[in-house]
Chain A
Amino acid sequence: MTACEIKKDIYWIGAVDWDRRNFHGYSLSPQGTTYNAFLIKDQKNTIIDTVEDRFAGTLLCNVAHVMPPSEIDYIVVNHVEPDHSGALPALVKAAKPEKIICSVMGEKALKEYYDTTDWPLHVVKTGDSLSIGSRTLRFVETRMLHWPDSMMTYVEEDKLLISSDAFGQNYASSARFADEVDQAELARQLSRYYANIVLPFSSVTLKLLDEFGKLGWPVDMIAPDHGLIWRGEGVARVLEDYRRFALQKPVNRAVVFYDTMWRSTEKMAHAIAEGLFEAGTPVRVMSLKSDHHSDVMAEVFESGAVLVGSATHNNGVLPLVSGMLTYMKGLKPQNKVAAAFGSYGWSGEALKHVTELLTAMHFEVVEGVRAKNRPTHEQLKACVELGRTVAKALQAKIAAS
């Protein structure tokens, strides 16, 4: 995909990573991703963000479609993470810019990642602005959304917010705008991206949305660094989505995930799902052997109740369950009803361990069920009952929220 004009004299000059499936080593990206970078033609030609280093050639080629790279005056680094700054050394070499604009924490990180000896770094803070000719760039630091150095750049005259990693989705496409693709798939990828990346910073997100509201800047386009660009009605919708995501109000939906040795815990999972559904809570059952932890996390984020099953293995929890719970804890999901379950062969500690982990995540934990070796008919009935109990607790929580 070559340079594409998204507003008069503002070009997308990024790269489409069609076959990326492992995103940053921890999350899957089933639709691939894009690294978005932007070029503004003005008295001072300005590039905002770059791409992963292996696409440096693509970036330079895209710049060359608009102007010779040597004519670039300013480079804005909204975020130093290597998928956005990887091509920076190559770009700096080709452009010899007058200024490289970054945040205070961005300067520190750039110096740690690259040899910045001759780089004309220019540090900006929230509220600072920079004239590039007929346009004014305004900067907003968005610390810990999702790295200490993160910031956004607002192009005042164009009502364009270049939002770095916020509002992004992993979505490779020949389209550049969010309204040009399958809306259900887009919604899934937006939510999945939030669940696996932005979720721990939900309180920062809410604060930022409020601060941004107070600034009163009109925005008619939001261009994130991954995926499709929001315009028209999409702008208000994605802002609303982010508020909803960050508030994490409980919803009437449940996920049951588990790992099993001899299918006893699996049987229990299915019985629990039966109980949830009977009591009016839609449910999805996921085996950690079949589903990647980031897929499960996307489902956890969209669910008001989380039921976790593990067989007891060597007096503890099965490794896939333990890995999933560690991953989930780091992402700090809130406002969930939860319960543990699982079978055991002799001592049965898994139930206690999983319950403790769920309690440590500040979930409303319902007492779980365990079964020795094969669950009996009575124990499976207790699992159905657990599903019903969790559904009722969740529905009460929703009514109270």
Chain B
Amino acid sequence: MDKYVCNVCGYVYDPAEGDSENGISPGTSFDKVPDDWTCPVCGAPKSEFTKE
């Protein structure tokens, strides 16, 4: 599964880790992350992420 990087702050979404603080369990691929999810570091929308 691909990692995605936030264009705004550089945070990397790693599907192996997910984002448990915001309800995304480990193993969730980026396309399965809900559209209203935002970057946990800077709050940028999902559309600001690009494949690493």
Contacts and interface: CB of A to CB of B under 8 A. Distances in A.
Main secondary structure of the interface of A (DSSP, over half): helix
Contacts of A105: 42-43
Contacts of A203: 7
B20 to A, nearest CB: 17
A204 B42 CA distance: 13
A203 B8 CA distance: 9
Provide the main secondary structure of the chain B interface: loop
Interface residues on A, range: under 10
Contacts of B16: none
B43 A204 contact: no
Contacts of B9: 143-144, 148
A204 B8 CA distance: 7
A123 to B, nearest CB: 11
B41 to A, nearest CB: 6
Contacts of B44: 143-144
A148 B41 CA distance: 7
A322 B14 CA distance: 30
A104 B41 CA distance: 12
Interface string B14-52: 000000000000000000000000000111100000000
Given A105-B43, A144-B9, A148-B41, 15 more contacts: A104-B43, A105-B42, A143-B8, A143-B9, A143-B42, A143-B43, A143-B44, A144-B8, A144-B42, A144-B44, A148-B9, A148-B42, A148-B43, A203-B7, A204-B8
Interface of A: 104-105, 143-144, 148, 203-204
Interface of B: 7-9, 41-44
18 contacts: A104-B43, A105-B42, A105-B43, A143-B8, A143-B9, A143-B42, A143-B43, A143-B44, A144-B8, A144-B9, A144-B42, A144-B44, A148-B9, A148-B41, A148-B42, A148-B43, A203-B7, A204-B8
